[in-house]
Amino acid sequence: MPHDHHDHDNHLDPMEARTRALETILTRKGLVDPAAIDAIIETYAEKVGPRNGAQVVARAWDDPAFAEWLARDATAAISDMGFTGRQGEHMQAVFNTDTLHNMVVCTLCSCYPWPVLGLPPVWYKSPAYRSRAVIEPRAVLAEFGLTLPESTGIRVWDSTAELRYLVIPQRPANTDGFTRDALADLVTRESMIGTGLPRVPA
Amino acid sequence: MNGPQDLGGQMGFGPVRPEPAEPPFHADWEGRVLGLTLCAGALGLWNIDESRHARESLPPAIYYNASYYEIWLRALEALLAHHQLVSAQELAQGAAEPAPAHPRRLDAAAVPAVLATGSDYLRPLTTQPRFRPGDRVRARNIHPRGHTRLPRYVRGHTGVIEAAHDGFILPDTNAHQRGENPEYLYTVVFDGAALWGPDAEPGLTVSVDAWEHYLEPA
């Protein structure tokens, strides 16, 4: 496609130059250590991402006591797994049921639970998602290939404060006896935002 | 402020376009902007609310044409200039005289601990909360000129308190260096039909997290 979906990201050359100029200034003025920037990038490119959240979900599926803890005090339960820090200081886990599907948005900026999901994808930060998730979530879900029956309620959580939401999807059928790692492999990023469901085992 | 950031319920932005196997960054500069923003924030001259306000204060035409990291970069430039860390001349020339390291410069060795710690926004209060779970409340019809986290699409509408949280730093004053002024925070649930009228999608509820003064009894 000659015109793909990066139409919000097509200013590469001017932005590259502008960013380099600012980094040069801040480094020379002793305000920024370029190696610290490298370390931040490495953290979110390689270490902190949605596999963390998938481990939380898999444990919740596998361990009812942990699921109960997660429902009562998600910050402590998730911290117990070693996932803490910036943009995940105050966590809340919201559980899908047979009758309710949860979906998370930040209409005002791009609030997102970094320690468990990493950095938000472009679509999550896009005006299209932020504007529509609260008024027509079913139409948005259809664009993710997910159509829910009208009898299933949809709860949209607008992250307007410092609470960060992690959706706990329902455990797929036919996963009895799965190891936690095998369960975690079924958990997608979208299923933890609420714009998708977990994979179904083959 | 009723700025370009307040997007809930707006129309005309087209479909949502998920990207399979999306990389963390789409260009090298995006990662540098993330790092610059966090490193500059670590100097301690501003807080997260002031950062958000700098982003939403960009002119709407720029905000809507920019990628998210471009918004971050432009807001960072504005914050650096406002706090006199970088001059307009330095920004224009892309050059500056060398200076020794700032005492609060974030060093690479400290990055893992800083990111894994974050910031505690809770400020436990000893006063009585005004509302309890189950209370019916109305989001006030207010239009602050400064920063606020009460989205327009709930203002004037009635919902129900689902959860009463402890005190949290109030963004409305914290963004403007007028203090933390913690208030109780509530998760307030609105019926889709209350927000969007008869054409609301079936079975929809929407919640926001609202500080106490955003709400009044209904």
Residue A122 and residue A31 in one domain: no
CA of A98 to nearest chain B CA: how many angstroms apart?
13
Are A107 and B43 a contacting pair at CB < 8 A?
no
Interval B180-187 mean pLDDT: 98
Residue A118 lies in a domain: yes
Taking the C-alpha atoms of A110, A111, A113 and A114 in order, what is their torsion angle to the nearest 10 degrees? 60
* A109 assigned to active site: yes
Minimal CA–CA distance to A37: which of B10, B186, B115, B216?
B115
Interval B32-61 mean pLDDT: 98
CA dihedral sign, ordered B153, B175, B187, A79:
positive
Residue A82 and residue A137 in one domain: yes
Average predicted confidence (pLDDT) for chain B: 97
CA of B150 to nearest chain A CA: how many angstroms apart?
7
Q: Would you identify the CATH topology of the domain B136-217?
A: SH3 type barrels. (2.30.30)
Residue A39 and residue A77 in one domain: no
Are A28 and B96 a contacting pair at CB < 8 A?
yes
Residue A41 and residue A53 in one domain: no
Answer whether CATH 1.10.472.20 is correct for domain B28-117: yes
Residue A200 lies in a domain: no
Return the H-helix or E-strand segment holding B49.
helix B48-56
CA dihedral sign, ordered A33, A37, A40, A43:
negative
CA of A9 to nearest chain B CA: how many angstroms apart?
5
Residue A36 and residue A69 in one domain: no
What DSSP assignment string belongs to B60-115?
HHHHHHS-HHHHHHHHHHHHHHHTTSS-HHHHHHT-----PPPTTPPPGGGHHHHH
Interval B88-110 mean pLDDT: 94
Model-level pTM?
A: 0.96
- Identify all chain A residues contacting B25, using CB atoms and an 8 Å cutoff: 41, 45
d(CA B80, CA B46) in angstroms, rounded, equals 10
The mean pLDDT values, 10 residues at a time, for chain A of 202 residues are 46 83 97 98 96 98 98 98 96 98 98 98 98 98 96 98 98 96 98 98 84
Identify the three-state secondary structure at position A156: strand
**B94 against B15, higher pLDDT:** B15
* pLDDT at residue A89 in the model: 95
* pLDDT at residue A3 in the model: 42
- As annotated, the residues of chain B forming the CATH 2.30.30.50 domain(s) are 136-217
Residue A7 lies in a domain: no
Residue A41 and residue A62 in one domain: no
Are A35 and B107 a contacting pair at CB < 8 A?
yes
Find the closest chain A residue to B203 by CA distance.
A153
Print the domain residue range for A73: 49-193
Strands B158-168 and B183-191: antiparallel
- As annotated, the residues of chain B forming the CATH 1.10.472.20 domain(s) are 28-117
* pLDDT at residue B177 in the model: 96
Residue A4 lies in a domain: no
| Residue in A4, A32, A157 to test binding to B, most B beta-carbons within 10 Å | A32
Q: What are phi and psi of A46, to 5 degrees?
A: -125, -25
The tally of domains found in chain A comes to 2
| Residue in A131, A144, A147, A195 to test binding to B, most B beta-carbons within 10 Å | A131
Residue A83 and residue A134 in one domain: yes
Minimal CA–CA distance to A158: which of B138, B9, B14?
B9
How confident is residue B143, by pLDDT bands cut at 50, 70 and 90? very high
Are B196 and A135 a contacting pair at CB < 8 A?
yes
Residue A166 and residue A68 in one domain: yes
pLDDT tens digits along A12-55: 489 999 999 999 999 999 999 999 999 999 999 999 999 999 99
Residue A29 and residue A78 in one domain: no
Residue A201 lies in a domain: no
User: Does residue B2 surpass a pLDDT of 60?
Assistant: yes
Count Cβ neighbours within 10 Å for each residue of A94-111 and write b for 16 or more, e otherwise. bebeeeebbbbbbbbbbb
CATH number reported for the structural domain that contains residue A149 in this entry: 3.90.330.10
Are A132 and B106 a contacting pair at CB < 8 A?
no
How many A-B residue pairs are in contact by the CB < 8 A criterion? 294
Are B204 and A154 a contacting pair at CB < 8 A?
yes
Residue A114 and residue A157 in one domain: yes
Q: Per the structure block, which two tokens stand in for B1?
A: 């402020």
CA of A148 to nearest chain B CA: how many angstroms apart?
11
Residue A57 and residue A151 in one domain: yes
Residue A103 lies in a domain: yes
Residue A188 and residue A93 in one domain: yes
Count Cβ neighbours within 10 Å for each residue of B79-116 and write b for 16 or more, e otherwise. bbeeeebbeeebbeeeebeeeeebeebbebeebeebbb
B200, B119 Cβ separation under 8 angstroms: no
B55, B78 Cβ separation under 8 angstroms: no
* pLDDT at residue A11 in the model: 46
Residue A6 lies in a domain: no
